[in-house]
């Protein structure tokens, strides 16, 4: 049995990026609270931030442990490199870095956030919510912080929640939605089906009021719990608590039925896209970019070609970062804004598929929001062109 969550309201542009003062210490007065979004405005992206940990893992390194060749990884997946968190670096650390960058890009202070939604499959701990850890790290003291769990679809689920709360709460104006994964801590290096694909990283967006006609529209979410065993970490929860046996059996690492997941993506991705276009009376040519979760670059290119996505309109980022789960879709969006560059008014179709199985889509009219990317480069801060 499966469930779908129906439509919503439209929305999105952003103020120009400006230098952002550091959040005041906890003893200082909170930043002034902004009024609710003006009547008739939409909810869109005001700024974005991304973070990749410093350590990079090449195909040569991964192949040695997985018992395959570097060429096998490239040919089967299209992934060439990926990033791995440091031993003392948790999901909250990466997410906080992305949120700080997104808030700065939006020209805001963390104290102005009303909502902080975090999507992940690899939390710091089973409880409390990793979002609360990020709230403390970023000093977003006025935000309501909580997690959503929808695997690789998680950021899109979180964006829907934030969008609707901002539309419905007259006292709320700004929300940070961040996707983050520390998959490298939950991988069996010898499992070639997962070790070659999954990686670490974070990407965040600050959502807030934008002029009418811009921003998000037509969110659609779905799930089919019958397929929950297709991708999972079997132990560590209340059904199979951690113990010496579960550790010895390697049941705290990702298990994936690769064939079943591939077949689901091949069937579902065209359906998500086609149904969104049909509902909104749009053609492929009306979409400037298809911003989608990046499970496997080779598979994604193949599905896009069969679907008839126009050349150059399906940005691929997983070849350089791997599958970073809930961070994948916002990372692709931020990268497209920097490298595209996306132009204000461009219509985008967002789509994601994740474990559960879960899926979602939305339309987004781009506002020209700034992006700050924090990456292990000589010049770590990279701003998008407006």
Active-site residues, by number, are 152, 293, 323
Q: Are 180 and 118 in contact (CB under 8 A)?
A: yes
Q: Are 157 and 148 in contact (CB under 8 A)?
A: yes
The DSSP secondary structure of 197-245, one letter per residue, reads TB-EEEEEEEEEEE-TT-EEEEEEEEEEGGGGGGEE--SSSSSS---HH
Decide: helix, strand or coil at residue 162: helix
Orientation of helix 154-168 relative to helix 328-339, angle to 10°: 80
Burial class (CB in 10 A: 0-12, 13-18, 19+), 173: buried
Pairing of strands 144-148, 115-119: parallel
Q: What is the spatial distance between Cα 234 and Cα 105, in angstroms, rounded to a whole number?
A: 39
Closest CA to 176 of 149, 203, 150: 203
H/E stretch holding 68 reads: none
Kindly give, in sequence order, each residue whose CB lies less than 8 Å from that of residue 43, ignoring residues fewer than 6 positions away: 11, 12, 37, 162, 163, 166, 167, 207, 208, 209, 210, 215, 216
Kindly give, in sequence order, each residue whose CB lies less than 8 Å from that of residue 278, ignoring residues fewer than 6 positions away: none
Orientation of helix 70-77 relative to helix 59-66, angle to 10°: 100
Tell me, what DSSP letter sits at residue 90? Answer: -
Six-digit token string for 337: 């804004």
Tell me, what DSSP letter sits at residue 185? Answer: G
């Amino acid at each position: 049995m499966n469930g779908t969550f129906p439509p919503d309201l439209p929305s999105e542009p952003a103020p120009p990026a400006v230098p952002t003062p550091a959040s005041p210490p906890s003893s200082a007065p909170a930043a002034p609270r902004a009024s609710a979004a003006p009547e008739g405005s939409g909810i869109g992206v005001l700024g974005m931030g991304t973070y990749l940990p410093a350590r990079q893992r090449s195909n040569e390194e991964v192949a040695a442990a997985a018992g395959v060749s570097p060429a096998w990884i490239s040919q089967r997946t299209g992934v060439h490199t990926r990033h791995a968190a440091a031993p003392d670096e948790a999901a909250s650390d990466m997410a906080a870095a992305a949120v700080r960058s997104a808030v700065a890009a939006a020209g805001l202070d963390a104290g102005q956030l009303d909502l902080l939604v975090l999507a992940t499959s690899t939390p710091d701990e089973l409880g409390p919510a990793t979002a609360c850890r990020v709230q403390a790290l970023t000093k977003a003291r006025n935000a309501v912080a909580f997690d959503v769990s929808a695997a690789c679809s998680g950021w899109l689920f979180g964006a829907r929640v934030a969008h609707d709360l901002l539309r419905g709460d007259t006292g709320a104006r700004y929300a940070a939605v961040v996707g983050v994964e520390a998959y490298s801590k939950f991988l069996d290096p010898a499992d070639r089906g997962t070790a070659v694909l999954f990686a670490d990283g974070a990407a965040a967006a600050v959502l807030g009021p934008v002029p009418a006609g811009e921003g998000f529209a037509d969110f659609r979410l779905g799930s089919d719990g019958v397929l929950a065993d297709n991708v999972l970490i079997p132990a560590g929860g209340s059904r199979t608590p951690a113990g010496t046996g579960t550790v010895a059996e390697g049941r705290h690492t990702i298990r994936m039925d690769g064939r079943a997941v591939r077949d689901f993506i091949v069937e579902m991705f065209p359906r998500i896209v086609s149904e969104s276009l049909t509902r909104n009376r749009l053609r492929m040519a009306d979409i400037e970019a298809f911003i989608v979760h990046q499970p496997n670059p080779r598979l994604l290119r193949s599905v896009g070609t069969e679907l008839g996505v126009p050349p150059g309109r399906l940005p691929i980022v997983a070849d350089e970062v791997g599958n970073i789960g809930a961070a994948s879709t916002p990372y692709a969006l931020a990268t497209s804004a920097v490298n595209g560059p996306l132009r204000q008014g461009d219509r985008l179709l967002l789509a994601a598929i994740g474990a559960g199985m879960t899926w979602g889509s939305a339309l987004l009219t781009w506002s020209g929001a700034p992006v700050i990317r924090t990456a292990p480069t000589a010049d770590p801060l990279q701003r998008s062109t407006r």
